[in-house]
Amino acid sequence: MAGKADGTFLGFDFSTQQIKVIAIDNKLETIHESAVKLDDLKEFNTSGGCHVHDDNLTVTAPTIMWVKALDILLDNMKTSGFDFSRVAALSGSGQQHGSVFWKTGALEILSNVQPNKQLHEQLKDCFSVADSPIWMDSSTSKQCRELEQILGGPQKVADITGSRAYERFTRNQIAKIYQTKPEAYNKTERISLVSSFAASLFIGGYAPIDDSDGSGMNMLDIHSRTWSEPCLQATAPGLSEKMGPVVPSHKVVGSVSSYFVQSFGFSPDCQVVAFTGDNPGSLAGMRLKQGDIAISLGTSDTVFLWLTDPKPALEGHILANPVDTSAFMALLCFKNGSLMREKIRDRCAGGSWETFSQHLDSTPMGNNGNLGLYFDVQEILPQAVGTFRFNSKGEQVSSFSDDEEVRAVIEGQFLSKRVYAAKLGYSLGIDCELTGPESRVLATGGASSNKAILQVMADVFNSPVYIQDVANSACLGGAYRAKHGLMGGSSVPFSEVVKDAPDFTLGATPNPEADQIYLKLCEEYKKAENIVLSEQTIS
Ligand code: 5FX
């Protein structure tokens, strides 16, 4: 077996549409990358890796499909000559919130799988609920309202679990299964998240849920990092025994089972580190640290924050941090991302990013006091839809010049991210002791290649912006975390483990006057948002 010094590390990601793997060597260089697309497993007839049911609210994925995809992925790696004997440790992630219901007696089968048959053939009868609810499900509004009512309101649920009750969160899915399929619930001996389910396959036993992915369930007390008794009580009887323990995300949960040793040539000493959710996994893959904010500019924009003093709110999610047991992370999702930017580009810049950038460069920071909120589709943060323009006197106006419009959409989007991040307890650039080189914005996704947009980002956040290519950040995070777990977890800072990873590229640095301008504009943005929200309730 490869020693700690020359071993390789595997990171898996059981994501919505694919099962992916990255292998890195001890210098953190990627030596293998492959994936299996779930829709290619035709017998399961999924679209985008899932089934949307007739009510358009219920969304599930066949649990056994994930097992079969892992069989194929590992077979392909073997055929390509991948040397499993060098793997010192593995870890990974799964789509958040999804749940797996193991039938009574399944542990017996899981811990005795034989190398002469594939895993999916041996585990096919192991699930009391054959179709796992996944994060795209929104059928549990009733269960959400019940939880908020029992616990004393949405803020109370957020104070305990890090988020108000959300339909896709696992506790609400479990409550629905208990209420609608009590016989299936009663036949369940263990409930896993997709992440802990994946780790269970590798260790041939039930892997515990890690506290970071566990924070996406509305059932974990994010402060004590243990199950919240009131939440368990409010869900279903006998739930505590079905959930098992919660562990820190860096914990070694076992060695690979003899099935993997015999079928693929893994070393029996290969350690399995707890799997986590894909978003926490990405935080690790992006090597986020205190003072950082990661902004992914995609179809929808996502923001990750490193937090030490979280303030759970009715918007956004606070999770236990996957690489530092004393810290937290926040997750914010904004629906109007690149489609909105492209729409303004098409209308004001003739469809050209170059012209769009020229418009941005020709307008001053702060846009002469003109501010815009652009929500083409119903936004999550804030819950509003429509286009709203305000002039320097705070009056609503019906149009801006092309120059003003372009700057207004970009500044508006970043101001909103800054305001929501601050609400969750994030101290940004100027009012934070981590100002300067310690505070960074990591930009990823399509629009992060646009220099003019990055400059606005640096100015609004008063922080240098670095560009991160994160196509497979969750997978990479799994491989880094595998190494972290093997090196000792909490006794070794994660930053030490990833210190030799390639440097990020500096994309933009803030202008010296940015700080004053945008601090004031944040206040203007909040006022504008209040007006927008009051108009939404009236209509
Ligand atoms: C986060 O709360 C989500 O629901 C998604 O980002 C899933 O984790 C995607 F897999």
Instruction: Give the DSSP letter string of 371-421.
Output: EEEEESS--SSSS--EEEEE-TTS-EES---HHHHHHHHHHHHHHHHHHHH
Question: Which residues lie across from 373 on neighbouring strands?
Answer: 388
Measure the N-to-C terminal CA separation of the chain; round to a whole number of Å. 67
Q: Are residues 313 and 420 in the same domain?
A: yes
Per-residue confidence (pLDDT) for residue 1, from 0 to 100: 44
Atom number of ligand 1 nearest to Cα 279: 8
User: Is residue 46 assigned to a domain?
Assistant: yes
Q: Which two tokens stand for residue 289?
A: 């640290």
Q: Which two tokens stand for residue 432?
A: 């934070």
Rounded CA separation 498/11 (Å): 14
Per-residue confidence (pLDDT) for residue 226, from 0 to 100: 98
DSSP state of 50: B
Domain-terminating residue out of 280, 297, 324: 280
Rounded CA separation 210/100 (Å): 15
Per-residue confidence (pLDDT) for residue 378, from 0 to 100: 84
Q: φ and ψ at 97, to 5 degrees? A: 80, -25
pLDDT (tens, 9 = 90+) of the chain, 539 residues, equals 444 557 999 999 999 999 999 999 999 999 999 999 999 999 999 999 999 999 999 999 999 999 999 999 999 999 999 999 999 999 999 999 999 999 999 999 999 999 989 999 999 999 999 999 999 999 999 999 999 999 999 999 999 999 999 999 999 999 999 999 999 999 999 999 999 999 999 999 999 999 999 999 999 999 999 999 999 999 999 999 999 999 999 999 999 999 999 999 999 999 999 999 999 999 999 999 888 899 988 878 889 999 888 889 999 999 999 999 999 999 998 989 988 999 999 999 999 999 999 999 999 999 999 999 999 988 889 989 999 999 999 999 999 999 999 999 999 999 999 999 988 877 754 334 344 446 789 998 877 889 999 999 999 999 999 998 767 889 999 999 999 999 988 889 999 999 999 888 999 999 999 999 999 999 999 999 999 999 886 54
Q: Whose CA is nearest to atom 2 of ligand 1?
A: 96
User: Is residue 490 assigned to a domain?
Assistant: no
Domain-terminating residue out of 280, 303, 333: 280
Which amino acid, one-letter code, is at 397?
V
Domain-terminating residue out of 258, 280, 302: 280
Per-residue confidence (pLDDT) for residue 539, from 0 to 100: 47
Rounded CA separation 54/305 (Å): 37
Rounded CA separation 404/363 (Å): 7
To the question of pTM greater than 0.85 for the whole model, the response is yes
Please state at what angle helix 451-461 crosses helix 514-538, rounded to 10 degrees. 90
Q: Answer whether 392's CB lies under 8 Å from 369's CB.
A: yes
Residue 461's region, left for phi above 0, alpha for psi from -120 to 50, else beta, is alpha
Q: Are residues 126 and 177 in the same domain?
A: yes
Rounded CA separation 61/351 (Å): 38
Give residue 357's domain range. 287-469+509-539
Q: Are residues 131 and 194 in the same domain?
A: yes
Atom number of ligand 1 nearest to Cα 96: 8
User: Is residue 489 assigned to a domain?
Assistant: no
Rounded CA separation 522/440 (Å): 19
Q: Which two tokens stand for residue 303?
A: 């923001």
Best of 97, 132, 282, 333 for a ligand 1 pocket test (most atoms within 8 Å of beta carbon): 97
Is the CB of 163 within 6 Å of ligand 1?
no
Q: Answer whether 21's CB lies under 8 Å from 12's CB.
A: yes
Per-residue confidence (pLDDT) for residue 130, from 0 to 100: 98
Rounded CA separation 535/539 (Å): 6
Q: Are residues 397 and 427 in the same domain?
A: yes
Q: Are residues 373 and 449 in the same domain?
A: yes
Q: Are residues 39 and 80 in the same domain?
A: yes
Per-residue confidence (pLDDT) for residue 4, from 0 to 100: 53
Residue 279 alpha carbon to ligand 1 centre in Å: 7
User: Is residue 298 assigned to a domain?
Assistant: yes
Q: Are residues 183 and 42 in the same domain?
A: yes
Which amino acid, one-letter code, is at 5?
A
Q: Report how many domains make up the chain.
A: 2
Is the CB of 301 within 6 Å of ligand 1?
no
Q: Are residues 259 and 353 in the same domain?
A: no
Which H or E element spans position 463? none
Q: Whose CA is nearest to atom 9 of ligand 1?
A: 95
Per-residue confidence (pLDDT) for residue 428, from 0 to 100: 59
Rounded CA separation 415/371 (Å): 10
Rounded CA separation 436/453 (Å): 20
Handedness of CA 218, 220, 224, 225 (dihedral sign): negative
Is the CB of 279 within 6 Å of ligand 1?
yes
Nearest by Cα to 518 from 386, 434, 417: 417
Q: Are residues 256 and 334 in the same domain?
A: no
Q: Are strands 220-221 and 226-227 parallel, antiparallel or unpaired?
A: antiparallel
Rounded CA separation 194/17 (Å): 13
DSSP state of 21: E
Nearest by Cα to 487 from 474, 496, 478: 496
Residue 10 alpha carbon to ligand 1 centre in Å: 22
Q: How far is CA 248 from CA 225, 230, 275, in A?
A: 8, 22, 10
Best of 38, 66, 96, 170 for a ligand 1 pocket test (most atoms within 8 Å of beta carbon): 96
Rounded CA separation 187/170 (Å): 18
Q: Are residues 253 and 387 in the same domain?
A: no
Q: Whose CA is nearest to atom 4 of ligand 1?
A: 135
Rounded CA separation 484/117 (Å): 33
Q: Are residues 387 and 433 in the same domain?
A: yes
Q: Answer whether 47's CB lies under 8 Å from 65's CB.
A: no
User: Is residue 3 assigned to a domain?
Assistant: no
Is the CB of 193 within 6 Å of ligand 1?
no
Which amino acid, one-letter code, is at 439?
S
Q: What is the DSSP string of 423-474?
A: HTTPPPGGGSTT-GGG-EEEEESGGGG-HHHHHHHHHHHTS-EEE---TTHH
Question: Which residues lie across from 91 on neighbouring strands?
Answer: 11
User: Is residue 1 assigned to a domain?
Assistant: no
Handedness of CA 216, 221, 223, 225 (dihedral sign): negative
User: Is residue 332 assigned to a domain?
Assistant: yes
Q: Which two tokens stand for residue 245?
A: 């323990």
CATH of the domain at 526: 3.30.420.40
Q: What is the DSSP string of 83-112?
A: -GGGEEEEEEEE-SS-EEEEETTHHHHHTT
Work out the burial of residue 489: count CB atoms within 10 Å of its CB; fewer than 13 is exposed, 13-18 middle, 19 or more buried.
buried
Segment 294-313, tens digit of pLDDT:
998 887 888 999 988 888 99
Rounded CA separation 428/129 (Å): 45
User: Is residue 149 assigned to a domain?
Assistant: no
Q: How far is CA 243 from CA 52, 176, 203, in A?
A: 27, 16, 17
Q: Are residues 129 and 43 in the same domain?
A: yes
